[in-house]
Amino acid sequence: MINKVVQDAASACQDIPDGATLMLGGFGLCGIPENSIQEILRKGIKNLTCISNNAGVDDFGIGLMLQQRQVKKMISSYVGENAEFERQLLSGELEVELIPQGTLAERIRAGGAGIPAFFTPAGYGTEVGEGKESRAFHGKMYLMETWLKADFALVKAWKGDTAGNLIYKGTARNFNPMMATAGRITIAEVEELVPEGELDPNQIHTPGIYVQRIFQGKDYEKRIEQRTVRQAEPASS
Amino acid sequence: MSLDKHGIAKRIAQEVQEGYYVNLGIGIPTLVANYIPEGMNVVLQSENGLLGMGPFPTEEEVDPDLINAGKQTVTTLPGSALFSSAESFAMIRGEHVHLTILGAMEVSERGDIANWKIPGKMVKGMGGAMDLVASAKNIIVAMQHTSKDGQSKLLKNCSLPITGLQCVKKIVTDLAVLEVTAEGFRLLERAPGVTVEQIQAATEGKLIVEGEIPEITV
């Protein structure tokens, strides 16, 4: 198989230029590419367009890139957890495009699957539909939405092999599989990098064809936004 | 006496039926899960990629890789399934989810809903709300009947930016249960001790009252 392994986040992200369009996997802070984000912060890459469901929180994830004014434009579905985001948006420093979550997911999927446009009912009759083509199918109105692609897709998986095959865990999967398909260069960071042959081909979520670079990630914080717990039931006597 | 948020959640839980796949929004809708009758087989969908959402974890079970759409830590159940966001919204758009329960700032007498944006305030985004309301077969809204200063939120026309058109089927408020019909809001039930006149006064949109209106039992 083709070996996709690179040394670390620094080698994986070495050619991301100022002004690049990035996709960053994750839902909230769950399943975000922590190592690649750290590298972008270290390098200080600027004028980025970031496609990501959320924009992190003030002191973690994409929020850190906003703090350093590295983001020119955010394309997201929900950005409510971030005060610096709000400040930059209101002051006009940051451009924002809000997209219904399912439409965002499908636009990315379409980008990876070679489908330039599709029709969805989400947003018809709302400001999301302004300026877009709409059409009736079987008596219901739909909006035309177009594909999204990126120069670099930064994804995070649980396990990956040297051939670039990926397996995600829990709800950390979210946007990562579609983004992996829609990057011109897809960079995957994984918690556990194994030799080819060690992952069961039946269990692969993202086939290696979509991944150009893979590296062993380190020091995952996996910050929790809303830690909600219940009391453990008392042990039965 | 008007219903509190738990009362609203309890009344909505009566709408859930055996075998339903249900998507619960953030806020009062999340509370509905607590009042689904024991033994009823209902599967909760969380649009970030989980079918079969379990209760909050114990301290020992907390897994940062397992959250719901409100970013709260949750658990899986025997029979749960995990999937991508694209798959999740295929389920929603494809009308495989039987019931969507969500909050609203305003609903119009035609069933239009506004729940994502207040002009002049920070816009947080619509998340999955527009996808959900555009496709759900059955949408029940949990909301307060009036604003804090007494303005009706059940209107002829929504004044806030729309989330979706003609999609709400039923509304449970602190004062009443209403069905959205082609003619307007049909009053089905009233909160204990609340009169039809009080509901009428709190409803700007067309209210249809036919016969005796029973009290809500929760």
Scanning every residue of chain A, which has its alpha carbon at the shortest distance from the alpha carbon of B115? A126
In this predicted structure, what is the pLDDT of residue A90?
Answer: 83
Question: Higher confidence at residue A233 or residue A65?
Answer: A65
Mean pLDDT confidence for A217-221 = 98
pLDDT for residue B80 is more than 70: yes
CA distance A13 to chain B (A): 24
Give the closest of A30, A120, A125 to B64, CB-based: A30
pLDDT tens-digit readout, A122-161 = 999 999 999 999 999 999 999 999 999 999 999 999 999 9
pLDDT for residue A228 is more than 60: yes
| Cα separation, A202 vs A99, whole angstroms | 33
Give the closest of B49, B72, B164 to A173, CB-based: B49
In this predicted structure, what is the pLDDT of residue A85?
Answer: 86
pLDDT tens-digit readout, A83-116 = 888 889 888 899 999 999 999 999 999 999 999 9
Instruction: With H, G, I as helix, E, B as strand and everything else as coil, classify residue A60.
Output: strand
Distances (CA, A) of A36 to A11, A170, A220, B95: 10, 21, 11, 37
pLDDT for residue A165 is more than 90: yes
In this predicted structure, what is the pLDDT of residue B122?
Answer: 80
For residues A94 and A71, is the Cβ–Cβ distance under 8 A?
yes
- What pTM was estimated for this model as a whole? 0.96
ipTM of the shown complex: 0.96
Q: Say yes or no: A180 contacts chain B, CB-CB below 8 A.
A: no
Q: Please, what are the domains in chain B?
A: 5-208 (3.40.1080.10)
Cβ pair A102:B131 closer than 8 A: yes
Query: How does strand A117-120 pair with strand A183-194?
Result: unpaired
Ordered alpha helix ranges (H), chain B:
5-13, 28-32, 85-93, 129-135, 196-201
Other CB atoms within a 10 A radius of the CB of residue B197 amount to 9
Cβ pair A29:B47 closer than 8 A: no
Give the closest of A78, A127, A176 to B124, CB-based: A78
Q: Taking CB atoms and an 8 Å cutoff, what residues of chain B touch A29?
A: 64, 71
- Ranges assigned E (strand) in chain B: 21-24, 43-46, 50-53, 76-82, 99-103, 106-108, 113-114, 139-142, 154-155, 170-172, 176-181, 184-190, 207-208
Give the closest of A79, A86, A105 to B85, CB-based: A105
Q: Say yes or no: A200 contacts chain B, CB-CB below 8 A.
A: no
In this predicted structure, what is the pLDDT of residue A87?
Answer: 86
In this predicted structure, what is the pLDDT of residue B66?
Answer: 98
Q: Say yes or no: A174 contacts chain B, CB-CB below 8 A.
A: yes
pLDDT for residue A236 is more than 80: no
pLDDT tens-digit readout, A39-51 = 999 999 999 999 9
Question: Higher confidence at residue A180 or residue A84?
Answer: A180
Instruction: With H, G, I as helix, E, B as strand and everything else as coil, classify residue B158.
Output: coil
Cβ pair B85:A101 closer than 8 A: yes
Q: Which residues of B are catalytic?
A: 47
In the numeric block, the tokens 């209902």 are attached to B42
Q: Taking CB atoms and an 8 Å cutoff, what residues of chain A touch B163?
A: 126
Q: Which helix (H) or strand (E) holds A73?
A: strand A71-76
pLDDT tens-digit readout, B90-137 = 999 999 999 999 999 999 999 999 999 998 888 899 999 999 999 998
Cβ pair B86:A105 closer than 8 A: yes
In this predicted structure, what is the pLDDT of residue B87?
Answer: 98
Q: Say yes or no: A103 contacts chain B, CB-CB below 8 A.
A: yes
Mean pLDDT confidence for B48-60 = 96
Q: Say yes or no: A91 contacts chain B, CB-CB below 8 A.
A: no
Query: How does strand A166-167 pair with strand A134-137?
Result: unpaired
CA distance B15 to chain A (A): 25
pLDDT for residue A200 is more than 60: yes
pLDDT for residue B189 is more than 60: yes
pLDDT for residue A13 is more than 50: yes
Cβ pair B134:A124 closer than 8 A: yes
Distances (CA, A) of B114 to A130, A157, B93: 17, 36, 19
pLDDT tens-digit readout, B140-172 = 999 999 999 999 999 999 999 999 999 999 999
> Could you give the percent of chain A with pLDDT greater than 70?
98
| Cα separation, A222 vs A34, whole angstroms | 8
Size of interface A-B (CB pairs under 8 A): 172
Residue from B53, B67, B166 to probe the interface with A (highest A Cβ count within 10 Å): B67
In this predicted structure, what is the pLDDT of residue A237?
Answer: 47
| Cα separation, A24 vs A155, whole angstroms | 6
Query: How does strand B21-24 pair with strand B99-103?
Result: parallel
